Amino acid sequence: MAKKIASARISQESSKLLKELNDSLPFDKELYQEDIKGSKAHAYMLMKQGIITPQDYEDIENGLEEILQEIEEGIFTLDGGEEDIHMAIESRLTSKIGDAGKRLHTARSRNDQVAVDFRMYVLRHDKEIASLLMDLIETITDIANNNTDTLLPGMTHLQHAQPINFGYHMMAYASMFKRDYERFTESFERNNYSPLGCAALAGTPHPIDRQETSNRLGFKEPTLNCLDSVSDRDFALEILFNISVLMMHISRLSEELILWSTSEFGFIRLSDKHATGSSIMPQKKNPDIPELLRGKTGRAYGNLISLLTVMKGLPLAYNKDTQEDKEGVFDSVKTAELSLRVLNEMLDEMQVNKTAMENACAKGHLSATDLADYLVKVKGLPFRDAYHIVGNVVNFAEELGKDISQMSIDELKSVDSRIDEDACSVLDNISSMNARNSEGGTSVSSTKKQIEKMQKWIEENR
Ligand code: ARG
């Protein structure tokens, strides 16, 4: 059983069950880089403030550097039974350099140590996810740019509604992912403050310099209040929320990719790299990847609700409950990053079947609203009257087994004599799409403006 270096007054060895419940090393070893970085900054500050000697600092710095290499090379495997990553690294250091190692923890508690480590981990991944999102937004905007003239049935209630173009549809997703990008970068800014030096809960009597450690670790400045800082996990909740919204967006796109790759739609073809077969049905090509992306949203939501629940009602300041903050965040971060990489690659290699999309527009009377608008604009009818007339036209089209866009002028006139020759052009799906030329609308020129704006934003924020 491991020796307790973090207990001065506990005489008995820990029960096996306590260790199983209490130890976080099996999962918080993920934080080794941050822990070493934080300790180096702390040691430098202790030396600069005259709290430890330059020799001690040098030994600590070199010892930590060696430990980092040993972990990276798999020599130090972090399974020695210590309570957590902080104790594991500290005891390794002390066995290497002796007393200097024992001085490292001056003016520090594991409470501010874990707070700074975990915060650095989360901030690093706020950045990483934002950068993967930028790649995705670029891929989607490129697809949009190649498809501004690809006609697509726009849907509401999953029923044909009005003709749009596929580029416009993709720009809806680019807009969602841009908001996600902004959420991650804003969370980074909001949480970019250092809790190091807060010690257990109340600060320390040692003459420390929190500005120094904050600068060395790349934070904006030290946090304001130590009591808050050692128990604050808002930064972790924010990344879990941001990932939940991101996964929700990914799942909506995945759902459409799944639908579009069915034989009923046939709008896209996923590359063979991103599809799987069936063990019994030889003809199958299944969209497992978008299904998994859709399914993984569940664990992202679970991790968010789980930490919100852990934090609810916790009295100030540190409580061991917060050790439960890590596994969910590690899981959500890995899920989000892998999902973004896979989605980006899959979209990049997806084939768009323009003809199938265009053919689908010949069904569902997509331009019916245009005929109503025509009766209002050209014939001066009140909209509600026009709406009813077009309802009758649609019924007649159904009787004829035609789409409204395929009706002859005589057929149209037989429903209402106020419909003239010029109505035929408004019923054409391409003119219908291009008629919606208002800002943010689907016309080709409006879609192109959206694409240009997005490309400019990408350029400015890359
Ligand atoms: N492993 C602990 C955690 O993740 C580190 C902090 C322990 N602090 C304490 N006072 N027991 O929260």
pLDDT tens digits for 442-451? 999 999 999 9
Task: Give which of 71, 70, 75, 60 is closest to 30, Cα–Cα.
Answer: 71
The whole-number average pLDDT for the span 137-151 is 98
Judge whether residue 144 has pLDDT over 50: yes
CA of 117 to the centre of ligand 1 (A): 11
Q: Report the atom number in ligand 1 closest to the C-alpha of 318.
A: 10
Q: List the residue whose alpha carbon is closest to atom 2 of ligand 1.
A: 323
- Other Cβ atoms less than 10 A from the Cβ of 295: the count is 13
Judge whether residue 1 has pLDDT over 50: no
Phi and psi, residue 165, nearest 5°: -115, 155
Q: List the residue whose alpha carbon is closest to atom 12 of ligand 1.
A: 323
CA of 114 to the centre of ligand 1 (A): 7
Q: Report the atom number in ligand 1 closest to the C-alpha of 200.
A: 10
Judge whether residue 5 has pLDDT over 70: no
Ranges assigned E (strand) in 143-235: 151-156, 159-165, 193-194, 221-222
- Ligand 1 pocket test target in 23, 196, 323 with most atoms within 8 Å of CB: 323
Q: List the residue whose alpha carbon is closest to atom 7 of ligand 1.
A: 110
Structure confidence at residue 8 (pLDDT)? 84
Active site residues: 157, 278
Q: Would you say the pTM of this structure is higher than 0.75?
A: yes
Q: List the residue whose alpha carbon is closest to atom 4 of ligand 1.
A: 323
Token couple for 135: 């790649």
CA of 199 to the centre of ligand 1 (A): 12
Q: List the residue whose alpha carbon is closest to atom 11 of ligand 1.
A: 320
- Ligand 1 pocket test target in 9, 19, 84 with most atoms within 8 Å of CB: 84
The region, left, alpha or beta by phi > 0 then psi within -120 to 50, assigned to residue 30 is alpha
Are 135 and 107 within 8 A, CB to CB? no
Judge whether residue 4 has pLDDT over 70: no
Structure confidence at residue 2 (pLDDT)? 45
Q: Report the atom number in ligand 1 closest to the C-alpha of 118.
A: 4
CA distance 14 to 367: 75
Judge whether residue 125 has pLDDT over 70: yes
Q: Report the atom number in ligand 1 closest to the C-alpha of 322.
A: 12
- Ligand 1 pocket test target in 83, 110, 229 with most atoms within 8 Å of CB: 110
- Ligand 1 pocket test target in 25, 34, 111, 201 with most atoms within 8 Å of CB: 111
CA of 73 to the centre of ligand 1 (A): 27
Structure confidence at residue 107 (pLDDT)? 98
Counting Cα atoms < 13 Å in the Cβ hemisphere of 252 gives 13
- Other Cβ atoms less than 10 A from the Cβ of 174: the count is 23
Task: Give which of 250, 221, 236, 232 is closest to 187, Cα–Cα.
Answer: 236
Task: Give which of 305, 301, 307 is closest to 336, Cα–Cα.
Answer: 301
Which protein residues touch ligand 1 with a CB less than 6 Å away? 24, 28, 84, 110-111, 114, 318, 320, 322-323
Q: Report the atom number in ligand 1 closest to the C-alpha of 24.
A: 1
Judge whether residue 302 has pLDDT over 70: yes
The whole-number average pLDDT for the span 60-86 is 97
CA of 176 to the centre of ligand 1 (A): 37
Q: Report the atom number in ligand 1 closest to the C-alpha of 85.
A: 1
Q: Which residues of 380-410 are buried (b: 16+ CB within 10 A; e: fewer)?
A: ebeeeebbebbeebbebbeeeeebbbebeee
**Which stretch of 38-47, 83-92, 280-289 has the lowest confidence by average pLDDT?**
280-289
Judge whether residue 402 has pLDDT over 50: yes
Mean pLDDT of the chain: 96
CA of 236 to the centre of ligand 1 (A): 16
Positive or negative CA dihedral for 249, 292, 165, 377? negative
The DSSP H or E segment spanning 57 is: helix 54-72
CA of 15 to the centre of ligand 1 (A): 18
Secondary structure letter of residue 276 according to DSSP: B
Q: Report the atom number in ligand 1 closest to the C-alpha of 6.
A: 11
Q: Which residues, in sequence order, are bridge partners of residue 352? A: 268
Structure confidence at residue 450 (pLDDT)? 98
Q: Which residues, in sequence order, are bridge partners of residue 276? A: 286
Q: How confident is the model at residue 284 (pLDDT cuts 50, 70, 90)?
A: confident
Task: Give which of 223, 239, 138 is closest to 185, Cα–Cα.
Answer: 239
CA of 314 to the centre of ligand 1 (A): 15
Alpha helices in 266-416 (DSSP H): 288-311, 326-349, 354-360, 368-377, 383-400, 409-415
